[in-house]
Amino acid sequence: MGKEIYMKKTASDRLNIFLFLLPGLILFIGILIAPIFLSGYYSLFNYNAVSGEMSFIGFDNYKEMFSSNAIGFMKALGNSLLLAALSVFLQLPLSLGLALVLGKGIKGERIFLSVYFMPVLISTVVIGQLFLKIYNPSYGILNIVLEKLSIISADNHPIWLGNKNTALIACFIPTLWQYVGYHMLLMYAGVKSVPIELREAAMLDGATSGQVNRYIVLPYIKSIIKISVIFAITGSLKSFDLIYVLTNGGPLHATEVPSTIMIEMLFQRNRYGMGSAIAVMLIALCFVFALIVNKIFREED
Amino acid sequence: MAIGKKKSSSNEFESKVYSKKMTPGKVVIYILLLFWLFINIFPIYWMFTFSLKSNEEIFGANVAGLPNEWLWSNYSRAMNTGSMGVYFLNSVIVAVVTILITLIAALMATYAITRFKWKGSKPMNSFFMLGLTIPIHASIVPIYVILINLKLTNSLTALIVPYSAFSLAMAILICTGFMIEIPYELDESASIDGCNRWGIFFKIICPLMKPAVSTVGIYTFLQCWNELMFANIFNSKEEYKTLPVGIQGLSGAYTTDWGPIGAALAVATFPMLFVYIFLSRRIQDSFIAGAVKG
Amino acid sequence: MKKRLLATVLAAGMVLSCVGCGGATDTASASASASESAAASVEASADAASSEESAPAASGESIDLEMWCIATESDSNRHSYEAAIADVTAAHPEINFTWEAIENQAYKTKIKAAVAADEMPDIFFTWSCAFLGDFVSAGKVYCMDEAYQGFASELPEVMLGNTTYDGKHYGVPLTMNIVGMFANMDLLAQVGYTEVPGTYEDFIACCDALKAAGIIPLGCSGKETWCVTEYLESVIEKSIGADELNDIFLGRATWNNQGVADAVDTFQKLVNDGYFDPEGIALSNDEVKANFMAGKYAFYMNGTWNCADFAANADFGSKVKVAEFPVINADKASLGMLIGGPSDTLAVAASSAHAAEAAQFTFELGKEICHYGYLDGCGLPAWTPYYDTSAINPLTQAVSEICANAKTYVLFGDTAQNADDANTYLSYVDQVYGCAIDGAGFIAGLANDIR
């Protein structure tokens, strides 16, 4: 942000700065920052949602969160970390591959780009409902195709969302499907911004296109990759919509994530205190991971 | 995070370097690209076809083909249960107003951060950037309690305000990228002409920030078009439901009858896709601008 | 004949108040002279009903009343709500009545939110016992005692057991339902059964025969855990008896009960022996029900509100029978111990601007919903019927006969327990169905996690 200051500071500037910042600050502090502290405060209480009664219980909610088998927070956390790992190591490489291929400029580049980005514009609930139908054990297109290909037999259709071994992966696939295009377009933007001269010079030196990608393009778009990684991880930690539509945490809590547990605490069990404790954990996790990713990318330099 | 200004595509150069002849490697790449294209289109195509079929066709007679009998009645059934029109309109209103609020707040804040000289500008920017990592869902309880106390549940405001707040960080990030490219000399000459800070903001900066509008619009749109949790919990009255909530409810009404569900999904999806087809280049360019400026 | 039958149904209903919710002690003692008074009220109600219509409007001013319920268009109660609302609003031109139906699961969130926000509609649907109890103890529900005076002859006080807290009435019950074992007799006939098996051994033998013949014996939605409880609670009740189970649900006894553990193992054996449709775990109840009606399962245990839908299906209605789940341990349990009771309830918000009028209106509406609901086969009436019931579908009549022989009712576990406990309970039921824990794990976990 190299900027030249063009005017002398005047007394009214202080007021102006304040006024220009005001709408943003009101929104930001009122809706984001203050609620975090309020959540932290609520999390120390046994707070009944219906009666509004609050009694101070210290860190008991946190203790219960980690110890209660019926809540299963650790399991949910593990699930969302697994989703995050899948996003980073499966979804992003796929996006990057597409971005590199398309960014190089091939015939039909724009058509591919447009179609790949299409799922991003579809509402997540629609995608969830659609995949519910795709996965349907008896009539879903997936099992029908697999049966036609003789991969599965007619009388033994897998129940993708009902089997605790496959449910989480089955929930991940629609996310992959929807967001590959999103990350691809981000990275494509980066690839396209690589100065021609750099590429040209490398090519003249006899670099293969793989080497160009490795030594010229990737370092150049590192900051975009970093943003993608942060988005993918925090996105997985806070994933809710798709899981809510597909399994709502089942079967047997196999697809439970912190957000689904939080909603159950808040609106099925009337426990605002415990729900807030989970919210605080979520925020803390998102921050910690953002810091870790930042650090990893910094050390790369 | 600025990556450089160059974003002009370079077709002449590329066509020179990457020859047009088909090598085996290229064929493989094309096959893979076409395969992924198919994966992207097929579910949407399948949704469209089953929205026009009866259960008999979907369940066996004609699984993936075009409908033998085009059952447009599925659409009238979907439209008559619940109120898809209202849901759609609500979603659009929420998206548009959110974009407007976000944009105004972000432009003003960015102006204060990038074009005034004061000690706090960098920390203030970092402060706003915290918003990029805070998960929207984590503040649900306090927001909910506040909305209840203000009697604001069951209104579109209950969604617009939180959505705007959560879109703000990204919007400021994008606006900063655009605004620092506007030459400071413009401000200077305007101020010599007697323009004050507000005049400069409205007469010089805002008109020049037009490209940022569509970029911020797209990112904000993607965020609030999808949101389910807040919309589901804050608003329960039929007349304030948004599309995701409406669809979810509708599919509860037709669990075993696939046609009308497919129709509802299609109604929720295709208007957006049509807009996208006509504006795809523009939408992509704006999205890309966000990535590059950000 | 019909009236006698109904009188006995009601007499059986009396017993449920003994096992009802917390503060319901007052009504319990009333059960002694049950059958006479119930029979008498049948006679009386005809006149009461006719005089009702001519009741003068309270004032010239029109008042607005709003109601929320769960009778969505796909709900089998929809028709009874529509018909009842048409009748009652016609009789009350001074009341400007609006109503809204919300899907079951979403409704639970919505009504709680509205209670917390003091934004309740004047009249709202609720489940009895713990669900309504939370609202009552928060002081958000209007006490119906005064309005009830005018309807006492038509609505036996014992039916209010589940909506009575500290001796005060807070709700208008509509219909009552129990868990029934529905059987597709066509499929049973294929393995040589012309009647629903009457003993547990016979039931198991029947399931084995069905399995051998390639027919799936049991259908159950695993996606909606309450469907699993319909099976599990029946197994537990028929193993340890109604009183013990009820004490556990109401927090008077601990979950740490070897009988429960054994019963859970018995249930799990049904799962492990492959009697349940393995696809059921990923299906919603609507889908499982549709499968049952399509002839995919021999048995389907679920609420008797399904009678209406089954009977209305011309093709399927003639094939299906309903029966009581057989006794597993005759030392502790017996036939006549049922799961269910009056749960569907209408209540009035304390915050309503016209609470008194709303209460009066709610009683009239509840009576009519009960009337039409019973005629439609959506359940048994909590109100004393004043109309010809001979046209009621045979399934619902079979349910009345089961209820006529009822000894005790234990309310559905997720209704009887408070929201937090109920969800902990459901979470463990889920794990039992998925065979992640056994009976010992079930009781140990619940004893530990129920706060």
% of residues, chain B, pLDDT over 90: 25
**pLDDT given at position B92:** 93
Interface probe, candidates C72, C76, C288, chain B, greatest B C-beta count within 10 A = C72
Torsion of CA A199, A205, A208, A211, to 10 degrees: -70
In this predicted structure, what is the pLDDT of residue A116? 94
User: Predicted confidence band at C44 (pLDDT cuts at 50, 70, 90)?
Assistant: very low
- In this complex, the residue of C100, C113, C287 whose CB is nearest that of residue B233 is C113
State the CATH architecture for B82-253.
Orthogonal Bundle (1.10)
What sign does the CA torsion over A41, A46, A47, A53 have? Answer: negative
Q: Which of B135, B247, B269 faces A237 most closely, judged by CB atoms?
A: B135
Q: Is the pLDDT of residue B111 over 90?
A: yes
Q: What is the pLDDT of residues C98-136, one digit of tens each?
A: 998 887 777 887 888 788 777 889 999 999 888 899 899
> CA of C228, closest CA in chain B: separation in Å?
19
Residue A197 scores a pLDDT above 70: yes
What is the per-residue pLDDT for C443? 94
For the CA atoms of C359, C365, C371, C377, what is the dihedral angle to 10 degrees?
A: -110
Over 50: is that where the pLDDT of C331 sits? yes
Q: Which of residues 260-289 of B touch A (CB under 8 A)?
A: 261-262, 265, 268-269, 272-273, 276-277, 280-281, 283-284, 287-289
- Return the CA Rg of chain A: 24
Q: Report chain B residues touching chain C, CB-CB < 8 A.
A: 81, 144, 148, 151, 153-154, 232-233, 236-238, 249, 252-256
Quick check: B249 and C109 CB within 8 A?
no
Judge if the upstream peptide bond of residue B24 is cis by omega within 30 degrees of 0: no
Give mean pLDDT, residues C372-378: 88
Task: Count Cβ–Cβ pairs < 8 Å, chain A vs chain C.
Answer: 85
Mean pLDDT of B63-90: 84
Residue spans in chain C of domains classed CATH 3.40.190.10 = 25-176+341-401, 178-336+414-449
Nearest-CA distance from C110 to chain B in Å? Answer: 6
Token output for B38: 């198919």
C contact chains, 3+ CB pairs < 8 A: A, B
Tell whether B60 is within 8 A of chain A (Cβ).
yes
Inter-chain touch A24–B288, beta carbons under 8 Å: no
How many Cβ pairs within 8 Å bridge chains B and C? 43
Contact status, residue A100 vs residue B222, Cβ threshold 8 Å: no
Distances in Å between the Cα of C219 and the Cα atoms of A138, B235, C216, C231, C283 are 15, 35, 8, 10, 10
CB contact under 8 A, C290 and B236: no
The pLDDT of residue B277 is 86
Tell me the pLDDT band of C279, cut-offs 50, 70 and 90. Answer: confident
CB–CB contact C279 A271 (8 Å): no
Domain boundaries, chain B: 11-76, 82-253
CA distance to partner chain B, nearest, from residue A168 (Å):
20
Nearest to A69 among C109, C134, C445 (CB): C445
pLDDT value at A19 more than 70: yes
For C97: left if phi > 0, alpha if psi spans -120 to 50, otherwise beta; the answer is beta
Q: What pLDDT sits at residue A253?
A: 83
Nearest residue on chain A to B279, alpha-carbon basis: A114
Res. A293: pLDDT tops 60: yes
Whether residue C345 has pLDDT greater than 90: yes
pLDDT at C54 over 60: no
Could B166 and A31 be called an inter-chain contact, meaning their C-beta atoms sit closer than 8 Å? yes
Mean pLDDT of chain B: 84
Per the model's pLDDT, the better-predicted residue between C7 and C301 turns out to be C301
Confidence (pLDDT) at B21: 65
For B225-253, what is each residue's pLDDT tens digit?
Answer: 888 889 988 887 778 889 998 888 777 66
- pLDDT confidence tier of residue C73, bands split at 50, 70 and 90: confident
Give the pLDDT of residue B154: 83
Query: Which chain B positions have a beta carbon within 8 Å of C100's beta carbon?
Result: 237-238
Q: Which residues pair with C346 in a beta bridge?
A: C125, C172
Q: What six digits make up the tokens of A188?
A: 């494509």
> Is there a contact between C134 and A270 if contact means CB atoms under 8 Å apart?
yes
**C139-152 confidence digits (pLDDT tens):** 999 999 999 999 99
Q: How close, in Å, is residue C71 to chain B by CA atoms?
A: 11
Q: What's the mean pLDDT in B129-148?
A: 84
Nearest residue of A to residue B105, measured between CA atoms: A24
Question: pLDDT tens digits for C194-241?
Answer: 999 999 999 999 999 999 999 999 999 988 889 999 999 999 999 999
Do C54 and C339 meet the contact criterion of CB atoms below 8 Å apart?
no
Percent of chain A with pLDDT over 90: 45
With bands split at pLDDT 50, 70 and 90, how would you rate the model's confidence at C327?
A: very high
- Report the chain A residue with the minimal C-alpha distance to residue B127: A28
The domains located in chain A, with CATH, are 73-255 (1.10.3720.10)
What is the percent of chain C where pLDDT is above 70?
Answer: 86
Q: What is the pLDDT of residue B253?
A: 67
Domain topology for C25-176+341-401: D-Maltodextrin-Binding Protein; domain 2 (3.40.190)
Mean pLDDT of B11-34: 70
Helix, strand or coil for residue C348?
strand
Question: C100 CB near a chain B CB, below 8 Å?
Answer: yes
pLDDT at B143 over 80: yes
pLDDT band with cut points at 50, 70 and 90 for residue A280: very high
- Helix C258-272 vs helix C419-433: angle between axes, to the nearest 10 degrees? 50
Q: Give yes or no for residue C11 having a pLDDT over 60.
A: no
Tell me if chain B has a CB within 8 Å of the CB of A160: no
Nearest chain C residue to B146, by CA:
C117
* Model confidence pLDDT, tens digit, residues A40-80: 999 999 988 777 788 999 999 999 999 887 788 999 999 99
In angstroms, the Cα distances linking A242 to A166, A259, B248, B284 are: 15, 11, 11, 25
- What is the structure's pLDDT at A86? 95
pLDDT of residue C31: 38
Higher pLDDT, A6 or B191: B191
Quick one: pLDDT at residue C21?
A: 52
| Predicted pLDDT of residue C47 | 42
Strand ordering across the sheet containing C344-348 = C95-101, C63-69, C123-127, C344-348, C172-173
The answer to ipTM > 0.95 is no
Q: What span, in angstroms and rounded, lies between the C-alpha atoms of A250 and A256?
A: 7
Neighbours of chain B (3+ CB pairs under 8 A): A, C
Using a CB-CB cut-off of 8 Å, the residues of chain C touching B254 are: 74
> Which of C103, C279, C289, C351 would best serve as a mutation to test chain B binding (most B beta carbons within 10 A)?
C103
Q: How confident is the model at residue A5 (pLDDT cuts 50, 70, 90)?
A: very low
Instruction: Look at C21 and A84; give whichever has higher pLDDT.
Output: A84
Mean pLDDT of chain C: 84
Q: What is the pLDDT of residue B8?
A: 42
Q: For residue C119, list chain B residues with Cβ-Cβ distance below 8 A.
A: 148, 151, 153-154
Give CA–CA dist A158/C281, Å, rounded. Answer: 12
**Residue B184 at interface with chain A, using a CB cutoff of 8 Å:** yes
Q: Which of C73, C117, C286 sits opposite B148 (nearest CB)?
A: C117
> Residue B50: its chain A contacts at CB < 8 A?
133
At residue A234 the predicted structure's pLDDT band, cuts being 50, 70 and 90, is: confident
Q: A36 vs A284, B142, B233, C70, C418, CA distance in Å?
A: 10, 8, 19, 35, 29
Q: Which residue has the higher pLDDT, C102 or C326?
A: C326
Amino acid in the structure at residue B191:
S
- What is the pLDDT at residue A10? 59
| Host H or E run for residue C347 | strand C344-348
Query: Given an 8 Å threshold on Cβ–Cβ distance, is B236 in contact with C103?
Result: no
Q: Does A283 touch chain B (CB under 8 A)?
A: yes
For C167-206, the pLDDT digits (tens) are 999 999 998 899 999 999 999 999 999 999 999 999 999 9
Residue C45's pLDDT is 42
Residue C43, pLDDT score? 41
Q: Which residue of C has its CA nearest to A157?
A: C279
Q: What's the pLDDT at A85?
A: 95
- C279 chain-A contacts, CB cut-off 8 A: 137-138, 157, 159, 162
Instruction: Report the topology of domain C178-336+414-449.
Output: D-Maltodextrin-Binding Protein; domain 2 (3.40.190)
* Residue-level pLDDT at A215: 84
Whole-number pLDDT of residue A174? 95
Q: Does position B83 have pLDDT exceeding 90, yes or no?
A: no
Of C102, C109, C286, nearest to B255 by CB-CB distance is C286
Highest mean pLDDT among A150-154, B69-73, C260-264: C260-264
**pLDDT score of B60 more than 80:** no
Chains that touch A (3 or more CB pairs under 8 A): B, C
- Higher-pLDDT residue of A219 and B250 is A219
Predicted local confidence at residue C180, as pLDDT: 94
Res B108 pLDDT > 60: yes
Assess A93–B contact: CB distance below 8 Å, yes or no: no
C chain contacts of residue A70, beta-carbon cutoff 8 Å: 423-424, 427-428, 445, 449
Q: Are C297 and C174 in contact (CB under 8 A)?
A: no
Residue A8 has phi, psi (to 5 degrees) of: -75, 145
Across the A:B interface, residue pairs with CB atoms under 8 Å apart total: 311
Mean pLDDT of the A168-193 span: 92
Q: Which of residues 201-220 of A touch B (CB under 8 A)?
A: 203, 220
Under the banding of pLDDT at 50, 70 and 90, the label for residue C161 is confident
